Amino acid sequence: MRRIISLSAALALGCIVPAATPAAADTSSCTHHWSGPQVCIRMKGRNGWNSVTAIWANPPKSAKTRKVWLTQDGNRLGNTQTARRKGETISYTWSSFQQGTDVKMCVHFKGISRVACDTTKYIGDRESW
């Protein structure tokens, strides 16, 4: 009887977990320091095709813009961009492009030594249930 209950529980859990898995590989990562600038990266997309957003989460109220650039596996990509204040943060978003998978993407703000990085992921082909 215990074996039947355990098997039933395992099967029930197996049915629940896949449905709760996200359909996209949206991720974010931030520097975690108790003082100074907090820098974050957000990637939205799937299987190596992502838009990337650089966020300065706690700029002083006087800051309206800041230069920002993106690196891929340590190599600088493209030109420096201008991040702009949006509410309480300063941010810039690069449109979706192909980075590949298992690639380390990092955002760098001029004058800030802290760098936020995240790694692209392969999540496979997933359909909505």
Looking at the whole model, is its pTM more than 0.85? no
**pLDDT greater than 80 at residue 20:** no
Buried b (16+ CB within 10 A) or exposed e, 93-128: ebeeeebeeeeebbbbbeebeeebebebbebeeeee
Task: Map residue 14 onto helix, strand or coil.
Answer: helix
Tell me, yes or no, whether 49 lies in a domain: yes
Tell me, yes or no, whether 13 lies in a domain: no
Q: How many CB atoms lie within 10 A of CB 92?
A: 23
Element (H, E) at 117: strand 116-119
Whether residue 80 contacts residue 37, with contact meaning beta carbons closer than 8 Å, is answered with no
HSE, CB side, 13 Å, CA atoms: give it for residue 69. 13
| 56, amino acid identity | W
**pLDDT greater than 80 at residue 7:** no
**Which residues span the domain enclosing 71?**
24-119
- Give percent of the chain with pLDDT exceeding 70: 77
Number of domains comprising the chain? 1
CATH code at position 84? 2.60.40
**pLDDT greater than 70 at residue 44:** yes
Tell me, yes or no, whether 96 lies in a domain: yes
What is the mean predicted confidence (pLDDT) over 60-73?
97
